[in-house]
Amino acid sequence: MPHQDVRVRFAPSPTGGLHLGGVRTALYNYLFARQHGGKFILRIEDTDQTRFVPGAEEYIIQCLEWCGLTPDEGPHVGGPFGPYRQSERKHLYRQYAEQLIENGWAYYAFDTPEELEAKRRQHPNFQYDTQTRSQMTNSLTLPAQQVKDWLEEGRPHVIRIRMPEHKTLHIHDLIRGEVVFHTDQIDDKVLLKADGMPTYHLAVVVDDYLMQISHVFRGEEWLPSTPVHLLLWENLFGIEYMPKWAHLPLILRPDGHGKLSKRDGDRLGFPVYAMDWTDPFTGETTRGFREMGFLPEAFLNMLALLGWNDGSEQEIFALDELTERFSIDRIHKAGARFDFEKAIWFNHEWIKRLPITHYLETIKAFFHQHHIALPNDTQLIPTLELIKDRCRLLTDFVEQGKFFFVPPETYDWSAIQKKWSPQMKACFEAWEQELANIHPWKAETIEQSLISTATQHALKKNDMLLPLRIMLVGGKFGPPVFQIAEHLGQRETQQRIHHALSHLE
RNA sequence: GCCGCGUUGGUCAAUCGGCUAAGACGCCUCUCUUUCACGGAGGAAUGACGGGUUCGACUCCCGUACGCGGUACCA
């Protein structure tokens, strides 16, 4: 009897940084599992030993953790269906491949990679399939004794699926509906490689069965190989155990055409990976969303809406809201272009919505990276609150807030040059002395004081504002200037005016 | 080449036969703020093409075009 519980898996192969498309796949899996009270499983698909990259698995786990997509089972937390790393399950697969051979659904093939390559050079459209396998070196064409001998002497071989002839395969996809394939068009995929490792096709079916996976959410690039999986399910475990398929639309590059790749990010100046990834072989680091100043809430929100919407006008969703609203039938069929500007917009919205305390530590870390010393939290938080609305990325806090903690190194004098005069200088010099008499040190009282000093010098307050801003901030930006002065404190404000005046004639 | 999937503004997209085709991002204008942003109000901008079906097609069907994916002892 097929199992009823919802069990879904995110099954990346640990070959490098975690692509945003991968995170979205993980997200949809996670949402579906949570929505149905099911389990979200992490399985590491490391059957290609030549592509093993040290550190990649740990990195993937950290990315999921940063996003808040915590697996219920996985190589790092264990679980009742382990091991969760395919390389550690190697011994499991061969028996299934051999079972298929016994039933006539697979065969041994002794063609070497070199032979196959030569064949493909000769016939560019060569495919190892129902038509061509009779000309190849395999257990279907060789005498039984020959096969037996070769196997006994350990001759390298693979096991290939034997595609039936002239059959139509119907696959029901939760997103696309009925998809039909013809077996004559499909090649005899390798199931077990010469090194004894299964290929994706065998491993995915065996493990989904053994791990009792109920639904498979994976990228659309897998759709063409689904008929192979279907046949395997049919002949190994029974179609009634087969998970439901949902092939997700691809995330496309913003310009031109094609799947979004790491290279597009490098070229166009935006991240593609969830977090910074350093290639252990070249030492080269690729920037990630996290390090670029994205909140995980925004990152996930943006990804969720790339290919799905709930039909309303709402665009901002927290993870628990997504869990509530998510539905497979509202997933788009067509691929979506990634738009970095929109991603930034999502981040801005989340920065504005969340309390500073929610991401205080992250901001502090960014300041520390720039060697900027910060005051204690009770003083820091109100200051950050003041600039919050103008920060689209968390790294913007450094840019927008630095002047609160470090006096300006340069001044944008050009902004005030036209209106600057000796009278104005005299007025500021007088006001500088006045600062000590301002009580309490509040934006309103500071403003009143400036007004009265300006009036005494036959100047207008409004003409004083920009020069004051330049003296305190260095440039033409930031919150209202008297609030800046309030946050700076009397002493610091006085010092900055004094210092600025000594540099102005 | 073959197979599969897809096609509403520049981008994300709503629409499940009644459309004068939502909304968001971005862009432009105005407004607020005597800084820069935020906010607020407006604006320009869309159904690939050709046939059907229908009283009526963006919506259904069939072609064509275009795009993408697959076609590995990679996943």
Percent over 90 (pLDDT), chain A:
90
Residue A228 burial by Cβ neighbours in a 10 Å radius (0-12, 13-18, 19+): buried
Could you read off the pLDDT of A218-255 as tens digits, one per residue? 999 999 999 999 999 999 999 999 999 999 999 999 88
pLDDT at A274 over 80: yes
Q: What is the mean pLDDT of chain A?
A: 94
The predicted pLDDT at position A413 comes to: 87
Asked about A388 being catalytic, the answer comes back as no
pLDDT of residue A499: 94
Considering only residues 379-418 of chain A, list those whose CB is below 7 Å from strand B.
Answer: 389-390
CA distance A336 to A257: 11
- Kind of pairing, strands A190-192 and A244-248? unpaired
Q: Are A273 and A286 in contact (CB under 8 A)?
A: yes
Per-residue pLDDT tens for A74-93?
999 999 998 999 999 999 99
Residue range(s) of every CATH 3.90.800.10 domain in chain A = 89-248
pLDDT at A288: 96
Query: What pLDDT score does A319 carry?
Result: 97
Q: What's the whole-number mean pLDDT along residues A418-443? A: 91
A62 pLDDT above the threshold of 90: yes
Q: What pLDDT, on the 0 to 100 scale, is given for residue A3? A: 61
Checking each nucleotide's C1' against the CA of A336, the nearest proves to be: B12
Select which of A90, A259, A262, A442 is catalytic. Answer: A262
Q: What is the pLDDT of residues A369-390, one digit of tens each?
A: 999 999 999 999 999 999 999 9
Topology of domain A89-248 in CATH is Glutamyl-tRNA Synthetase; domain 3 (3.90.800)
CATH of region A407-505: 1.10.10.350
- C-alpha A51/C-alpha A46 separation (Å) is 8
Residue intervals of chain A classified under CATH 1.10.10.350 are 407-505
Distance of alpha carbon A208 from alpha carbon A461, whole angstroms:
73
**Looking at residues A303-308, what average pLDDT do you find?**
96
Which nucleotides of strand B are protein-proximal, with an atom < 7 A from a CB? 1-8, 10-15, 22-26, 33-38, 67-75
Q: Which of A1-10, A178-187, A330-339, A456-465 has the lowest mean pLDDT?
A: A1-10
